[in-house]
Structure 1
Amino acid sequence: MSIPLKKRLKEGTAHERGAVWDGIGVNFAIFSANATAVEVCLFDKDGKTEIERIKLPEYTDQVFHGWIPDIYPGQLYGYRVHGPYEPDAGHRFNPNKLLLDPYARAHQGELVWDPALFGYQLGHKDLDLSFDEQDSAPFVPKSVITRPVQDPVHRPRTRWSDSIIYETHVKGYTQLHPDVPETLRGTYAGLATKPIIDRMKSLGITAVELLPTQSFVNDHYLQEKGLTNYWGYNTIGFFAPESRYASDPEDPAAEYRRMVAAFHNAGLEVIMDVVYNHTAEGNELGPTLSFKGIDNLSYYRLIPDNMRYYINDTGTGNTFNLSNLRVIQFVADSLRYWANDIGVDGFRFDLGTILARERQGGFDTESGFLRVCRQDPTLSTVKLIAEPWDIGPGGYQVGNFPPSWAEWNDKFRDTVRDFWRGEARAGELAPRLLGSPDLFNHSGRQTWASVNFVTAHDGFTLADCTRYNEKHNEANGEGGKDGSSDNRSCNYGTEGLTDNPEINETRERQLRNMLATLLLSQGTPMILAGDEFARTQDGNNNAYCQDSAISWINWDIRESGESLTRFTTRLTTLRRRFPILHRHRFLTEAYNEELDIKELTWVSAGGGEIAEDEWDTAQCFGLMLDGRAQPSGIIRRGADATLLIVFNSWHDIVEFTLPEAEGEGWKLLIDTNQPEAGDAIEENVFPAKHVYAVTGRSLLLFALDGSATSS
């Protein structure tokens, strides 16, 4: 007769959290500062039957731990955590609820919404003060023991100043793609197929930013309406890849690693959108799935004088407690796992301000989490991008993150949209073209810290910015109340699609104008996938719940879309060709006596420098960049180019006098009124003082002939 596992249990170690397989058994270790006991529950292969329950024997430095022999990769398990159920004191322990291991590398099964998921009795007059004794195990996913990863990671390590980011969704990008095998559509493996990577590579991007791919939960209220949490900002497993995107459900992590490796082999980086500001457990009326039952008081920010309730700086019900050192450790461990074991190259932090808000104050650049990131040998070397706002106190912090961080710059988005629809003037756009030095030029930060975007997953697509004045979110089932009404868009005369050729011509030119402004500005550009061919969501600006054709990219691209793709590719090519378009340091208007040049000059339509009193009224102006002023010792191809970018947001033609400059004349490289001119347009060379008729609502790029080396 074999000896039961619990009889052969050893104390194990506390230093490595999670369930770690050593070849002959598994060491379990789980942090809880307030629990009284922790049990490991082992399940059969289908996850329906609990086959053994083992109490962890040791408690060291607030970590319960134990080593159990003869457990192997693929074993399903969960935790039951004992302790006080005292919501008014912040404690919500309930051993009737099976809990996911926060460190689990994989989950099996899907969450089934049932009253047993809740630590209290639904419908009870005392709400969450009541106690529920139903077993939740039949309705929750199970944690899975996995093998340690040994594969080395070979990164492209693209410099920040050379980066062009492409934001997309794992499922939505390939779900309708005709060149991806049907069995792989909507999966990590599908995204890693050659047609997809070849297309991204040809577009000229350097990094793919994926919407949340850590294991997340579909909200109950969405399921009741036949919808789903498509974007995935509802994480429950911060080490586990979301299994719904895996073509191989047996090992999603391995498939994810293969996807990352495929991108790396093509020279492309992978950036993960991560959600460490809250979890899927909601507020006091939410389910008990993991953290809430392990140590509610440690993992969540609670209202200090009424700890039954949660601080809700996220708008989702709860806020992760990044003031607790063990929670900071958990987040840092998770990030290192994705970087070191899976191979990702960076992270975009949803509602990043929360991560730097300490318990007794607001945003703090010296917060524990930000300090950890700056000194950690792994995290200090990957790309870190903050969404620098939330709804908490002092929540808007654009430009205020410390050195080594980049930030989404919504001021760029808003100003570019306003400028091209005629609602902003030159003086407002100027700093955005230079990497927003008014926001980021401090503490040694560089232009790349400004992640410039005109569109992102949240809001209108670029095409919809030119087709709709109002949001059209009826399919979301919220009566049109969801989503922002501040879209800074313009339909140019007709809401939605039209056969009017004049309106369509204006819309298409405006798409080119906004893409050109994005890709010719200093900073790190981010393109929303599909904008390069005028993808639409039919006016839905909050498609978070639409796992449908509204959100999936439609690859039946019209000729106008193909033209826009070619134009976008030309822009990325020119950006690479001319380093002056993506300097890492901020450009200056100061006169360089040694070189007898000015690095940048603002040019009026008359050909001279813009006068101070013109900034608040000008709608047509130029930006001349002299690339000869290089940092000491740096020589790069194309570095000596002198460029002139002309912006005309006025609806009429403007006579623009090309400025004087050393050279043989101004060679036209881009005219958004001539999108198909391509390289042939470079045959057009105009002398200084030439008066060029700039089409209304258009952008032009000139290079001083003889100053620009070819690519």
Structure 2
Amino acid sequence: MEGYRIAKQDNRIYSMGLTGVDGGIHVCVAAQGEVCDLLLYHSGEETEYARLHFPQEARRGDVWNMTVLGDFSGLEYCFELDGKLLADPYGKQFTGREVWGDLSAAERPMRSPVVAEDFDWEGDKPLKIPYEEMILYRAHVRGFTKNTASRAKDKGTFRALIEKIPYLKELGVTSLELLPVNEFSELMMPEHVDGNPYAVDKPTGKLNYWGYTTGYYFAPKASYCSGKEKHPVTEFKNLVKAFHKEGLELIIELYFTGKENPAFVLDAVRYWTEEFHVDGVHLVGFTPNDLIGRDPYLSGTKLFATSWLGVPGGHEKHLAEYNDGFLVDMRRALKGDEDEMNHLIFRSRRNPAEFGVVNYMANTNGFTLMDMVSYDTKHNEANGEGNQDGNPYNYSWNCGVEGHTRRKKIVELRKKQIRNALLMLFLSQGTPLLLAGDEFGNSKDGNNNSYCQDNEVSWLNWNLLKTNRDIYEFTKAVIAFRKSHPVFHMATEPKVMDYLSCGRPDVSYHGVKAWRPEFENFRRQIGIMYCGEYGKKPDGTADDSFFVAYNMHWEPHEFDLPNLPKKQKWHIVFNTDEKDSNGMYSEVSVSEDGGEMVGAMPVMESRQFEVPPRTIVVFVGR
């Protein structure tokens, strides 16, 4: 082809995809076939501009290589393998997918620009916030701001996330986790039975809203971009850089089907950390965790997975366990199931030396926090699968009425249970994760599997920020409380020992009688004391001591409070039963503008305190 010349093979091993070289590009693609061609197109045109054949002598196994010299400005490319078009699995960007839910996109070929855009990172680098300092917030790029009440200018886009930085910082978030942001087809295709002569390859009409499907793992999703001119690579990099400038981390989720080559998965994880400066990657689906967890290039990158057992960490504590263990145990404890206090103790203390632990009470695949206290069973009829989809085990309790209600006592009980759940989460040693919208009572109307709901079911209803302002204020206060007191987020797991020889262990357990823990299976109450000497503040001073009384029983229980050093008394910081004070007092109750504290902490003159049913009370010794 005039204007392009295939250079002599130099026998170097190049990275997969396109690599810039002097005077042109090197092309490398893995594909099983007999004949492979590189097809070039002018941007936006359907007609093939140039076709270049991969030399057979340059083929290594199933990898096709060639170096092509020439000017590739304004060109796009794909491959043709034995007569069938093939998009580059390592493509860094794709055209023709700029409009979300565009049915005609399924019929258009996937093409990638040859020449990458320049970007100035201005010295940006990942923040590396320690796990014990993180407040993780999980959101969907589109659903976070798509609702008109979000007041974002570019709703449902990467750029809209930048608009929400002030909100995240006010809430106290340090790290944002995003559901899949790589290029994937949101158009769901029918599942075929082999040999079915009537199968039709047309979209079913449903949308894969979450993105848990096969995709193109090196390219940001074009339909998450703003404006007429889509620049997904630049826009995503601007997002990361803007977050880092504000001291916020950005973590992405990558889903793999298990059909990908392990080396391909490793390449993808490395690429997002190097090219996009993401602070971490959440590995979902079927991933070679042993290979990725041992990779020296990723030893300083946060990596989340269901389990890392047997995988040694790097020189930093960069691996983190991310699964439903905390959710299951703590939800069961919250609703008063039998034999759950031992699980509460285990989950509240767990923070292994080898890896971090991500804790959450709600996540994408399941009930929101509000639905957890509003529904006994899932209500997924809108998904069109006869309510057969979704996990039937939600460990939820509707507080007496299924679904939405205006009954005052039910509404108050639900909000109380949400306050309990938030304290259970943020007073536990692992890294807490908050599902977007849970801070203001977002609901999916009982749908616990909204994978195909690209609508008001899945979009956050920002009007609830005003309606449920009390939930938001409580959430913000608990986050601030956790950050202020290192005994609740130690770098290492409490040892339940007095290793400082200060007269008290770092953490101790109590029944209704001080220093006499009760672990029988029928118990639904436990007291946990935190000794402030084991929590050092940034200025080197010791933290306060705390006593947390958990009563998950439907009956009240009177707790004896442990003795404090002379002249100190117990003060109540949180009491989730006190609806008039929104369950909190002076140390954590702040005005909307973040100014003057309101509500004095009650002082305990007695050593006994009756904790009401289904209530958590937090005492501070001063």
Q: Normalised by the size of structure 1, how large is the TM-score?
A: 0.77
Closer/same/farther in 2, CA of residues 104 and 250 from structure 1, 3 Å limit: same
1:676 CA drift (Å): 5.6
Task: Tell me the SS of whatever aligns to 1:20.
Answer: strand
Are residue 348 (structure 1) and residue 282 (structure 2) matched? yes
Task: Tell me the SS of whatever aligns to 1:628.
Answer: helix
Partner of 1:405: 319
Partner of 1:28: 27
Closer/same/farther in 2, CA of residues 416 and 332 from structure 1, 3 Å limit: same
Native 8 Å contact 2:98 2:222 kept in 1 = no
Distance in 1, Cα, partners of 2:332 & 2:528: 19
Partner of 1:518: 425
Equivalent of 1:432 in 333, 344, 347: 347
Equivalent of 1:191 in 161, 172, 179: 161
Equivalent of 1:700 in 605, 617, 622: 617
Task: Tell me the SS of whatever aligns to 1:343.
Answer: coil
Partner of 1:123: none
Equivalent of 1:649 in 544, 547, 552: 552
Closer/same/farther in 2, CA of residues 650 and 485 from structure 1, 3 Å limit: same
Closer/same/farther in 2, CA of residues 333 and 642 from structure 1, 3 Å limit: same
Partner of 2:145: 174
Are residue 142 (structure 1) and residue 111 (structure 2) matched? yes
Distance in 2, Cα, partners of 1:238 & 1:548: 26
Native 8 Å contact 1:579 1:639 kept in 2 = no
Partner of 1:619: 524
Closer/same/farther in 2, CA of residues 368 and 225 from structure 1, 3 Å limit: closer
Task: Tell me the SS of whatever aligns to 2:526.
Answer: strand
Partner of 1:445: 354
Partner of 2:85: 98
1:628 CA drift (Å): 1.0
Distance in 1, Cα, partners of 2:421 & 2:529: 19
1:200 CA drift (Å): 0.6
Are residue 229 (structure 1) and residue 208 (structure 2) matched? yes
Equivalent of 1:215 in 168, 174, 183: 183
Closer/same/farther in 2, CA of residues 74 and 206 from structure 1, 3 Å limit: farther
Native 8 Å contact 1:466 1:489 kept in 2 = yes
Are residue 264 (structure 1) and residue 280 (structure 2) matched? no
Native 8 Å contact 1:351 1:386 kept in 2 = no
Closer/same/farther in 2, CA of residues 617 and 682 from structure 1, 3 Å limit: farther
Are residue 250 (structure 1) and residue 165 (structure 2) matched? no
Partner of 2:51: 53
Native 8 Å contact 1:570 1:678 kept in 2 = no
Distance in 1, Cα, partners of 2:213 & 2:225: 18
Closer/same/farther in 2, CA of residues 540 and 646 from structure 1, 3 Å limit: same
Equivalent of 1:690 in 600, 607, 614: 607
Partner of 2:436: 529
Are residue 330 (structure 1) and residue 330 (structure 2) matched? no
Distance in 2, Cα, partners of 1:137 & 1:457: 27
Deviates more, 1:52-61 or 1:551-560: 52-61
Aligned pairs for 1:37-116 within 5 A? 37-57=35-55, 59=58, 61-62=60-61, 63-81=63-81, 95-110=82-97
Equivalent of 2:333 in 394, 413, 419: 419
Partner of 1:18: 17
Closer/same/farther in 2, CA of residues 67 and 647 from structure 1, 3 Å limit: same
Task: Tell me the SS of whatever aligns to 1:502.
Answer: helix
Partner of 2:534: 629
Distance in 2, Cα, partners of 1:36 & 1:153: 45
Distance in 1, Cα, partners of 2:125 & 2:144: 25
Partner of 2:456: 549
What do residues 239-294 of structure 1 show as CA deviations (whole Å, max 9, x unaligned)? 1001110114531010000011111111110000111x31xxxxxxxxxxxxxxxx
Closer/same/farther in 2, CA of residues 240 and 626 from structure 1, 3 Å limit: same
Native 8 Å contact 1:462 1:511 kept in 2 = yes
Native 8 Å contact 1:111 1:141 kept in 2 = no
Native 8 Å contact 1:98 1:137 kept in 2 = no
Closer/same/farther in 2, CA of residues 499 and 181 from structure 1, 3 Å limit: closer
Distance in 2, Cα, partners of 1:74 & 1:209: 34
Aligned pairs for 1:217-616 within 5 A? 217=185, 218-221=187-190, 224-248=203-227, 249-275=229-255, 277-278=256-257, 319-321=258-260, 327-351=261-285, 354-356=287-289, 367-372=290-295, 375-376=296-297, 379-388=298-307, 401-403=311-313, 404-424=318-338, 425-435=340-350, 441=352, 444-445=353-354, 449-557=356-464, 559=466, 561-592=468-499, 594-611=501-518, 614-616=519-521
Task: Tell me the SS of whatever aligns to 1:80.
Answer: strand
What do residues 391-428 of structure 1 show as CA deviations (whole Å, max 9, x unaligned)? xxxxxxx7565434211131210111111111143122
Closer/same/farther in 2, CA of residues 432 and 179 from structure 1, 3 Å limit: closer
1:654 CA drift (Å): 2.0
**Structure 1, unaligned stretches of length 5 or more?**
82-94, 118-135, 279-318, 322-326, 357-366, 389-397, 706-711
Native 8 Å contact 1:623 1:646 kept in 2 = yes
| Structure having the larger proportion of residues in helix | 1
Native 8 Å contact 2:574 2:617 kept in 1 = yes
Distance in 2, Cα, partners of 1:460 & 1:400: 31
Native 8 Å contact 1:225 1:477 kept in 2 = no
Native 8 Å contact 1:19 1:27 kept in 2 = yes
1:36 CA drift (Å): 4.0
Closer/same/farther in 2, CA of residues 257 and 7 from structure 1, 3 Å limit: closer
Distance in 2, Cα, partners of 1:177 & 1:625: 44
1:209 CA drift (Å): 0.2
What do residues 43-89 of structure 1 show as CA deviations (whole Å, max 9, x unaligned)? 232252222210123526544222223343542111123xxxxxxxx
Deviates more, 1:39-48 or 1:573-582: 39-48
Name the aligned partner's letter for residue 240 of structure 1: A
1:551 CA drift (Å): 0.2
Task: Tell me the SS of whatever aligns to 2:86.
Answer: coil
Partner of 2:198: none
1:605 CA drift (Å): 1.6
Closer/same/farther in 2, CA of residues 488 and 224 from structure 1, 3 Å limit: same
Distance in 2, Cα, partners of 1:188 & 1:263: 11
Distance in 1, Cα, partners of 2:522 & 2:107: 66
Distance in 2, Cα, partners of 1:690 & 1:74: 77
1:499 CA drift (Å): 1.5
Name the aligned partner's letter for residue 300 of structure 2: T
Report the RMSD for the aligned CA atoms in angstroms.
Answer: 2.6
Name the aligned partner's letter for residue 266 of structure 2: A
Partner of 1:158: 129
